[in-house]
Structure 1
């Protein structure tokens, strides 16, 4: 579509109320001078110079607007995610650039449901990720990798609370039992919670109407099931194992939020998803986790 058209699209996403007319992020003035050679604006009131990405999660970007838009489209098109290495190949940029850009977009996606809760019929579940230990070459040197003393300590659990025909909320804990407090906090009182046979979910009976399903006997019984929660965890597991291969425990929550966002909007077309992702990125402030990441 060309750099000029892509720049105009970002302006419309940043300032939708004025149909793309710049608004000074410092004083709010709608009148500005255009610095066309640098695609920036200068406020007529306070003389502050700013661009369409100033103050957003894409601030201080060096990538062209066409490449930024292409990166968002590529990530959106990946039903189970896109690795940073693949994105770097598609955009012809460094792996470091693709890695940070992907995480910035994931942070923007996660902001869509920040502070929200779930209600109605809610399915809860958890799945373990990471912490793989490679066995020794010689059989005599191998240890029981199931024992705590032989584990890496990097294994984490993604706990999910998924509202039927609604949103998906996730968190990362060390054990699935630690997710009980998360579920109790984000599920609205009066909701009906569906959980599996794990004993730590027994605590939910004191606060919610809870239906349980024993997976060793059936996948659903008398209306109780966690199939939608399992569906999300299957998408996340394919994303981690099939695309990224390895996910650091400190970043696992962002991959889970990305999978939840894709799962919640799976019925939308790529154009609508791209529009939504760009709007979220333009509304999100500068990232405190990813700004200057490689410069520490």
Structure 2
């Protein structure tokens, strides 16, 4: 029998191993605490960070008390789990399911798998997606990088007549643009929705993420033309002439990300609102961080 298509050597924790490792909330809480505070609990309240912490035997109102700022806290404090009444194992299982599904996990599936309401599953999944957004500073890519944009939105032929009547054009019109920059050296991707695909927006995405002088590979979109004058070594492939690879010049890496992302759109989510699109981008199978900007149109 021949090998199954695609990769069959992925490593990770099975569901059986998950439940063996986390048989109850106590084990899950212990794991989260050790991951957050490997050297012992520290006060997570803003402006404190003290290690002078005492355990509260009754665990009321919370299991830890900071002797410096005199505030109580738990492993949930100032995390996506903040003020949540869900068990720690439910949170960990939700994270596990979302991380291990390449094409994403819908809130409806989480609702069924976790035994929570759909509303709870929806908020739970979006909190986790938001946690994947890297709001901290990062090192600029040294290059070479691949840059490409894609458009997210439903097909007109699948829309109800009253929805089609609201459309104003073809192609990417009425859809939301997402631009991504992939660093070949690290395979890291920085991506996010943008308001348009004009030259200032697309070249701005490169300037925000990539060191000046780096090699940048794109398609022949004219909006990328100013990159050379901005100090980048710019090379492009002409997709319109059916040129997809010219030596090292191609955008196949970032386009592979778009391909997987759209499979999730079509097969898992079916619709992504502009308001939350940046969170769905963060859930893509390749680590995507640092939302570039959020589109201003509704």
Q: TM-score, normalised to structure 2's length? A: 0.77
- Deviation per CA, 1:46-85: give whole Å up to 9, x if none: 5422111112232101100111111111111111210111
Q: Could you tell me which residue of structure 2 aligns to residue 158 of structure 1?
A: 178
Note if 1:213 corresponds to 2:237.
yes
Secondary structure at the aligned position of 1:127 is classed as strand
Secondary structure at the aligned position of 2:226 is classed as helix
Q: Could you tell me which residue of structure 2 aligns to residue 244 of structure 1?
A: 269
CA distance 1:69–1:184, shift in 2 (3 Å): same
Q: Could you tell me which residue of structure 1 aligns to residue 52 of structure 2?
A: 30
- Deviation per CA, 1:175-194: give whole Å up to 9, x if none: 32232222222211121000
Q: Could you tell me which residue of structure 1 aligns to residue 99 of structure 2?
A: 76
Matches within 5 A, 1:1-296: 1-16=23-38, 18=39, 21-26=40-45, 27=48, 28-37=50-59, 40-111=63-134, 115-130=138-153, 132-133=155-156, 134=159, 136=161, 147=169, 154-166=174-186, 167-177=188-198, 178-207=201-230, 208-216=232-240, 217-259=242-284, 262-264=285-287
- On the 8 A contact 1:194/1:225 being kept in 2, the answer is yes
Distance 1:45 1:204 in 2: 52
Distance 2:235 2:172 in 1: 35
Q: Could you tell me which residue of structure 1 aligns to residue 294 of structure 2?
A: none
- On the 8 A contact 1:122/1:162 being kept in 2, the answer is yes
- On the 8 A contact 2:151/2:176 being kept in 1, the answer is yes
The Cα shift of 1:115 comes to: 4.4
Equivalent residue pairs, number: 254
The Cα shift of 1:35 comes to: 3.4
Q: Could you tell me which residue of structure 2 aligns to residue 276 of structure 1?
A: none
Secondary structure at the aligned position of 1:206 is classed as helix
Distance 1:175 1:101 in 2: 30
The Cα shift of 1:36 comes to: 4.4
Distance 1:162 1:31 in 2: 42
The Cα shift of 1:145 comes to: 5.1
Distance 2:165 2:119 in 1: 36
Secondary structure at the aligned position of 1:221 is classed as coil
Secondary structure at the aligned position of 2:264 is classed as helix
The Cα shift of 1:247 comes to: 0.2
Over the aligned positions, Cα root-mean-square deviation in angstroms equals 2.7
The Cα shift of 1:155 comes to: 1.5
- On the 8 A contact 1:24/1:43 being kept in 2, the answer is yes
Secondary structure at the aligned position of 1:251 is classed as helix
